Structure formats: structure tokens, C-alpha cells
Amino acid sequence: MSDMFDRIDEMERKKEKVKLGGGEDRIDAQHDRGKLTARERIDLLVDEGSFVELNPFIENRGMDYGKAEAPGEGVVTGYAKVYGKLIFLFAQDFTVYGGALGEMHALKIAKMMDLAAENGAPIIGLNDSGGARIQEGVLSLDGYGHVFYRNSIYSGVVPQISVIMGPCAGGAVYSPAITDFVFMVEKTSQMFITGPKVIESVTGAKINSEDLGGAKVHSSKSGNAHFTASTEEEVLQDVRRLIQYLPSNHQEKAPAQPPKQAVDLEERVEELLDIVPVDSTKVYDVRKVIKLLLDDEYFMEVQPGFAKNIVVGFGRINGETVGIVANNPKMMAGGLDIDSSDKCSRFIRFCDCFNIPLITFEDVSGFIPGVQQEHGGIIRHGAKILYAYSEATVPKITVILRKAFGGAYVALNSKAIGADMVFAWPNAEIAVMGPEGAANIIFAKEIKESPDPEKTRQDKIQEYRERFANPYIAAGNGMVDDVIDPRDTRKSLASALEMLQNKKKQNPQKKHGNIPL
């Protein structure tokens, strides 16, 4: 028996050594950088006491690293719970070889991902790594390949979330890029393919790591990051918050959660009348509309700093999780450009992957005109929205708040491309183009020959608006299901969601479609 206790003691010593990672000095250095250790991050992310570690004793194959040890192979993997929901995760340990990925480091991550997919649970990756472990040569590159493959194959099977909590450079960036959502910490996390020194040596341009690939850059310019926060603690709390909206896998429905402040659905939302101006040339912030219609007036916006002319995110209506897509007339008159097309279509496809109903609030002037947009591929990018909505089989509801012009009207979940329900407010203008532009084309001769061209132009604009740019023409042709009082929007949405809760639709059998990427 004493021999068994000795062996147990030895086991505990080995486990403690693994938990200590690179040792106290390197842990102190990590803290000095304003960063937490891998295990401290896990403790903040998961429910208290729920983490179970996997493969703590995996070691490399004895490569010569200057005789240094690599406890835990520089990554902690395991499973745990977040608000009682099973999740799988890895956390790279920067105190061990700078979190560099080698063959067995990658094996630990791959084994964890396989378990997650087999058990239908989300995957969360906490990235903090100097890149590939150079000492292992091509074995480290092969390790990345195994991770990328699983990111791709398990896309749409279970939600995948990446949290960048330090450097993420070179090939390592492609794993987060494939996952569904990327979180970044302001000032302490960076992503880039080639670092500042390489860029300077090749191009001569001088730039620091933060300006090249920091959180601000990726959340506002590149669109690679979906969420940012100023501290690691805040970022991890945001990850927990997002998990509450997501199903565990593609076979489940999104979780329902009763509102904290129950509001009778018969209660009218009077404030809506003051937010959206009847005059379609005046601006407003669509977020105010969204929040008034969601439970507890809470909206978890995705990519708030990128392509601000479109707003996407998660909320609940009468307890049910929904994905929101909305034009924002406060920016670019709510028109669609290249970046907003990408942002919108990717979010639509995520919601469709994981059975989250889509609600579209439409107030769109059209696709943004211009040489830069045309040459940049607005045709190809805009087509992604049409493809994403057409392919989606989840419940799809549209509310036309005001403008719905041209091809953008068709693209934003019109009846023609599969909307289940389309509602319009009484002030909605649905037409090929805006009344001003249409009148100038249709009545050009009359305006030109009139003794008072400006008065004639205004008269014709009003005539066009009354005859064509109203919701009743579309409603009369079945393209709008109902024209509703804006104050009844929440009630109408809740009723439609309840009606569509058992919707089942199958697209034609095929290997997969070919979205215009």
C-alpha cells in the first residue's frame, strides 16, 4: 500500500509540474506583460470547478531544444461548462516555448476537437503563441494542417470561437480565420501573416505590431475580429455571454431564455413612432429600433466597428434567440457596399448553420454606386447576400421600416428569395429606385419643358411616391404579407416566430453549392 501512495505522490508531483508550465519566473513575466496565464484564463472562462484537463502528460518526441523541457507541450486542453453547457477548449501556454506549436501540441488540440465534434459541443480556442516551433521543422507545419482541417470539417457542426490573447502570427492566423467568431484584447493581442520586421525588409514600410494587426485594426478595417474589449477579463465574459445565445451543435435549436423583465406582447412600443422619421432622407440609428423590440432591450452586436452601415447581432424575442440583420441609415444612408455585404452574408450563414431564426430590418437605399465599389467587386460581394438568404432554411422574417429600393430590396430577404413573412410599416417605400431619381428619369421631358421645372419635378416626385413607392402595391401582389402599425412590430414578430417554430425545409440534394466568394 505504501508503494501505491508513493506512486500517487509521484503522479501529483508530475501534475503540479505540468500546471506550473514554464515556471514561476515566466509566469511573472507573463503577468508583467499585462497578460494572464493559460490556466488563469480557463478559470475565468468556465463555470467554477468544471474544468477537466485532457492529455496533460503528452510530450514531444525528444527533439533537442537545448535540453529545455516543455511541460504540457505548451497548451492546456480539456472540457468544462459555461452556464451549465458543455464546451471543449484549448489554451496556449506562452510560458512554455512562447506557446509555440509543435507536433504534439497540435495533436492535443486535434484530439480535443475530435471529442468536441463527436459529442456535439462548442470549441473555444485561447490563442497566445509565438507561432510554429522552429526546432520541429516541417512537423510543426503539419500540426497546423491537422488543426486547420478540423476547423474546416467541423464548421457548421459545432460553433467554433477563437480568442486572441497575445501574438497570433504567420500560418497560425488561419485557424481563427476559419472559426465562427474572433475575439481580441485591445493592446495585448495581434494577428498578422508577416510581422513588422519582415514587412520593413521587403517593402521598406515601417509599422509596429499594434498598428499592423491589433484589435482596433481588425475590428474596424479588416473585419477579421468580431468582438474586442479592453481587458482579458472582459473579453472572456463576452465569450460566456455569446455562448448563451448559441446551440451546442447543428442538430439543436438555439436556447430559449425567459426575459428578466416580462413585457406583455399586447403592449405597444410607442417610442418607435419617434425614432424612424417618415421622411426617407432623414437619418436615425437603427440600433434604437432593435433594442426596443428585443427582450430586456438587450442586443449583442457582432462587429460593431466594421461596415457600420449594416448592423448584425443576437437578441431574444419572447425568450427565443434570434439573429438580427439591419440596415443603418445613420451610415451611408443604409446602402450596401462590399464590406457590409461580406459582414451580412457571413452572419446569415452562421445563423442558418445553427438553427437561429433571422429577422431583417430593412431601410436600404440600394447598393452603393461608384468606380471603387464596381472595381472592387460589389457585384460578386453583393451576390453573397442573395446566396446566403436564398440558401438559408431557418425561419426568415423581414420588416421594411422605410426604404426598400432596387436590387438591395430583393437581396435583403424578399419573398422572391425565400422570406417566410414580410411586414411593412405604412410609411414604407418599395420601388425600383427612390422617387427622386425615378421622377427625374420617367418625367424628364415634362420637367424640362415645364415653365417651372422645379415645381413640376416636385409634383412628379410626389405623384410617383403615391402611385408606386408605397407598401400597398407590394402587398397587393403578395410580396408583403401585411402592413402593420409600427407599435405592433414586437407582437407581430413574436407571433410569426411562434408560427414558424417547427418550420422544416430541405434544399435540393447536392454536394454543396458554390457561393460567389
The residues annotated as belonging to the active site are: 170-171, 407-408
The whole-angstrom separation of Cα 46 and Cα 50 is 7
Q: Grid coordinates in use for 361? A: 430590418
The whole-angstrom separation of Cα 267 and Cα 269 is 7
Q: Grid coordinates in use for 421? A: 413573412
The whole-angstrom separation of Cα 396 and Cα 349 is 12
- Report the amino acid identity of residue 458: Q
Determine whether 254 is exposed, middle or buried from the number of CB atoms within 10 Å of its CB (0-12, 13-18, 19+).
Answer: buried
Report DSSP letters for 262-285, one per residue.
---TTS--TTHHHHS-SSTTS---
The whole-angstrom separation of Cα 377 and Cα 368 is 12
Q: Are 394 and 356 in contact (CB under 8 A)?
A: yes
- CA 10 centroid distance within chain: 46
148: number of Cβ within 10 Å: 17
Pairing of strands 429-431, 396-405: parallel
DSSP state of 109: H
The whole-angstrom separation of Cα 497 and Cα 499 is 5
Q: Are 154 and 230 in contact (CB under 8 A)?
A: no
DSSP three-state, residue 22 = coil
